[in-house]
Amino acid sequence: MSNRIKLRDRKKEMTRQAISDVATRLFVEHGFDKVSVADIADEAEVARKTVFNYFRRKEDLVFDREDEIRELVRNALADRGGQPPVRIFQTLMRGLVETQHPLFRITERPIQFWRMVTESPTLTAHARGLQVTLADDLSRMLSDAAGRPRSDADAHLAGAMLMAVLVAAYGAALRAFRERGKPEAILLSVMERGFSGVDAALAGTSYI
């Protein structure tokens, strides 16, 4: 029974990823607003209902890695061994960059992806809202790890600042790639400067 459940879960994840890959390709090629869910279903050879079984909204087909981000942070904080939560988060982000995790891998594909996002007002607004949501989620995870109330102002400051650092560093890396620079070096450089600011702002708290 256990093996059957695992096989079923793998098949579901493969179907979800296949739909996401098809959607991303169509969005990049034709633009988000010109591609319908029906187009995606036809190309992926699934029913339109199947697409909505995996993705609640069309926008979720574009930004489909937020749960993976949350899980990475949650697992890192759970295994922190008494280390301050912000330090754990910073170490995790450095590791993802250094190992070229897909979240931080700078190639032509993310350049095309973000060009597609900026060309759609719907996606631009969704991306900004998602940044706020992820910052709020991060603040809650940090406060829980530190044993502080979720209303703690320092936790919200940490979440907002850390998310702003990642957005700024990633944007700088994309620009460096377009200009034939060294995106990974720029990404780490901006990230480290941002982390220094976070450290200074949170000095003396239970987060550092």
**Residue 87 pLDDT exceeds 80:** yes
Asked if residue 15 and residue 88 are part of one domain, the reply reads: no
The whole-angstrom separation of Cα 138 and Cα 90 is 12
How many domains in the chain?
A: 2
The whole-angstrom separation of Cα 172 and Cα 114 is 13
- What CATH number is given to the structural domain containing 184? 1.10.357.10
Report which residue type is found at 13: E
Q: For the chain, give percent helix, strand, coil, nearest 5.
A: 75, 0, 25
pLDDT tens-digit readout, 56-85: 999 999 998 888 999 999 999 999 888 999
- What CATH number is given to the structural domain containing 11? 1.10.10.60
Q: Indicate whether 207 belongs to any domain.
A: no
The whole-angstrom separation of Cα 20 and Cα 51 is 9
pLDDT tens-digit readout, 9-23: 889 999 999 999 999
